[in-house]
Amino acid sequence: MTILRLAWHSLRNRRLTVALTLVSIALSVALLVGVERLRHETRNSFSSTVSGTDLIVGARSGPVQLLLYAVFRIGDATNNLRWQSYRAIASDRRVAWSVPLSLGDSHRGFRVLGTNGDYFRYYRYGRSQPLAFSTGGPFDDLYDAVVGAEVADKLGYRIGSELIVAHGGADVGFARHDDKPFRVVGVLARTGTPVDRTVHVSLAAIEAIHSGWQSGVPIPGLQVSADAARQRDLTPQTITAALIGLKSKVATFQVQRMVNEYRDEPLLAILPGVALNELWRLVGVAENALLVVSGFVVVVGLFGMLTALLAGLNERRREMAILRSVGARPMHVFALVGGEALLLTVLGALLGLLLLLVLLWFAQPFIASRFGLFIAVAGLSQHELQLLAAVLAAGLLAGVVPAYRAYRLSLADGLSPRL
């Protein structure tokens, strides 16, 4: 305790150098723990995009590709799933519920999803959280639309706003369905998932807006008005994919095998959790690299502390000589300089954590509204504690070098003849 008290008073006598060193360590620790927390929350958000769904069914491709376009709205399907095949799977006695998904259209850079009312009833995210409406409700009329929170925020949509759907991913004039405008009847509460960036319409609406179109191009003379489309049979011929919920988890692999061996057309059924883990292994390299970079920033901060301690040793030889003269031994000097390094590391780490919590407190609403990612302002996780322990150990280890140097100088000064 006496050594630490001496180290504290010694640091107070060098306020400017110590303050700069503390700032360097604090910033590096804040970056390291901040990246770890961001990585953890991002992974949780990533893994909780879809919850409570036992199988995702689509045309045969790859598990990751099916997951990307069915759940994350990234890319396009290589083929579609026939409506008759979907109905046959959905009517299986082991299936509790099913939600059809039809993709391929867009609105001002946001994907348009055709589905039915079961989507709002059965879709789950996070810890089995259901979709909720911030305003309005599900679509009822043929030309009703429900928009995600981000769509509403960026485009300024409210209940009653009108929107035009475009064919394909490019919102260009010749591909727009201008003759069949939609009216916003609901805005979903923010979920932090791709649902926030999606415009939802009914499957019948998808069929209606493509009446008189072929291969993504309107056929001259075959255009169908919005009112005339209501009188047509709007049962879809194909859909993109389907979410399946089963009555029993035991039947998961049985139904998956049944779909994968479906004879009428080549289909694929995937387990969302397995596909999410496979996808995370592909994209997780970047976040691990960011964590490594943050670790190197901490190392740079500790090297700054090491440099400051080493640079001040020659100026402190008088201080060491006074300590020796009052009975301090070389090992006491070693412990003093090592204690200073430990105190600097501990104080820098605590300051860094405080800085991170303050930043998160103020930035949390912006991050949630801008990126749909909720970063908790909470206690440290086990992995974050391990990172801090590693920082403290590295700081103590870095302090060994100037401590040993001070030990050698003190020993040499003690053996030198006095004039």
Query: How far apart are the C-alpha atoms of 144 and 353, rounded to whole Å?
Result: 48
What pLDDT, on the 0 to 100 scale, is given for residue 10? 67
For residues 61 and 269, what is the distance between their CA atoms, to the nearest angstrom?
A: 10
Query: How far is Cα 271 from Cα 56, in angstroms, rounded to an integer?
Result: 7
Q: Is residue 37 part of a domain?
A: yes
Q: Are residues 386 and 264 located together in one domain of the fold?
A: no
Query: Are 293 and 193 in the same domain?
Result: no
Last residue of a domain, one of 235, 270, 305: 270
CA atoms 336, 340, 345, 349: torsion sign: positive
Cβ atoms of 21 and 344 closer than 8 Å: yes
- Token pair listed for 40: 């953890």
Crossing angle of helices 382-415 and 15-47, in 10° steps, is: 160
**Mind listing the pLDDT tens digit of every residue in the chain (419 residues)?**
466 666 666 666 677 777 888 888 888 888 888 888 877 777 777 777 788 899 999 999 889 899 988 988 888 888 899 999 999 999 999 999 999 999 988 898 899 999 999 999 999 987 788 999 999 999 999 999 999 998 999 999 999 999 999 877 655 544 677 888 999 999 999 887 889 999 999 999 998 888 766 555 555 556 777 788 888 888 999 999 999 999 998 999 999 999 999 998 999 999 988 888 887 777 667 767 777 777 787 887 777 777 777 666 666 666 666 666 666 666 766 777 777 778 888 888 899 889 988 888 887 777 665 665 667 677 777 878 888 888 888 888 877 777 777 767 665 554 454 44
User: Does 276 fall in a domain?
Assistant: no
pLDDT value, residue 205: 92
Asked whether residue 182 is domain-assigned, the answer is: yes
**Nearby residues of 251 by Cβ (< 8 Å), 6 or more positions away:** 94
* Residue that terminates a domain, selected from 245, 270, 295: 270
Question: Based on the domain organization, do 240 and 108 belong to the same domain?
Answer: yes
Distances from the Cα of 16 to the Cα of 19, 22, 200, 370, angstroms: 5, 10, 59, 39
The string over 15-38, giving b where at least 16 C-beta atoms fall within 10 Å of a residue's C-beta and e elsewhere, is eeebeebbbbbbbbbbbbbbbbbb
Looking at the domain assignment, is residue 275 inside a domain? Answer: no
Same domain, 94 and 124: yes
195 and 64 in one domain? yes
- Please indicate, yes or no, whether residues 247 and 380 belong to a single structural domain of this protein: no
- Supply the pLDDT for residue 273: 84
381 plus 408 within the same structural domain: yes
Structural domains of the chain, count: 2
* Residues 114, 177: Cα–Cα separation, whole Å: 15
Element at 399 (helix H, strand E): helix 382-415
Residue labelled with tokens 């009833």: 121
Kindly give the pairing relationship between strand 144-147 and strand 182-188. Answer: parallel
CA torsion sign, 399 to 401 to 405 to 407? positive
Contacts of 3 (CB under 8 A, 6+ apart): 332, 335, 336, 339
Are 353 and 318 part of one and the same domain? yes
Q: Is residue 59 part of a domain?
A: yes
DSSP 176-227: B-TTS-EEEEEEEPP-SSGGGGEEEEEHHHHHHHTTTEETTEEPTT----HH
Residue 277 lies in a domain: no
Residues 30 and 59 in one domain: no
Q: Which of 207, 239, 270 is the last residue of a domain?
A: 270
> Does residue 385 lie within any of the structural domains?
yes
Segments forming the whole domain that contains residue 399: 2-46+284-415
How does 330-343 read in b/e, with b if 16+ C-beta sit within 10 Å?
bebbbbbbbbbbbb
Q: How far apart are CA 253 and CA 233, in angstroms?
A: 36
Q: How far apart are the first and last CA of the chain?
A: 35
| Full 3-state SS string of 38-49 | HHHHHHHHHHCC
Tokens representing 81 are 């799933």
Q: Domain check: are 244 and 148 in the same one?
A: yes
DSSP state for residue 249 in the 8-state scheme: G
Q: Which residue has the tokens 């960026």?
A: 154
CB 373 within 8 A of CB 47: no
Write the burial class of residue 366 (CB in 10 Å: 0-12 exposed, 13-18 middle, 19+ buried). exposed
Q: In this structure, what DSSP letter does residue 174 have?
A: G
d(CA 227, CA 224): 8
Q: In this predicted structure, what is the pLDDT of residue 316?
A: 65
Which neighbouring-strand residues pair with 129? Answer: 125
> CA 132 to CA 137: how far, in whole Å?
9
Whether 278 is covered by a domain: the verdict is no
- Domain shared by 11 and 93, yes or no: no
Q: Are residues 254 and 358 in the same domain?
A: no
| Coil, strand or helix at 170 | coil
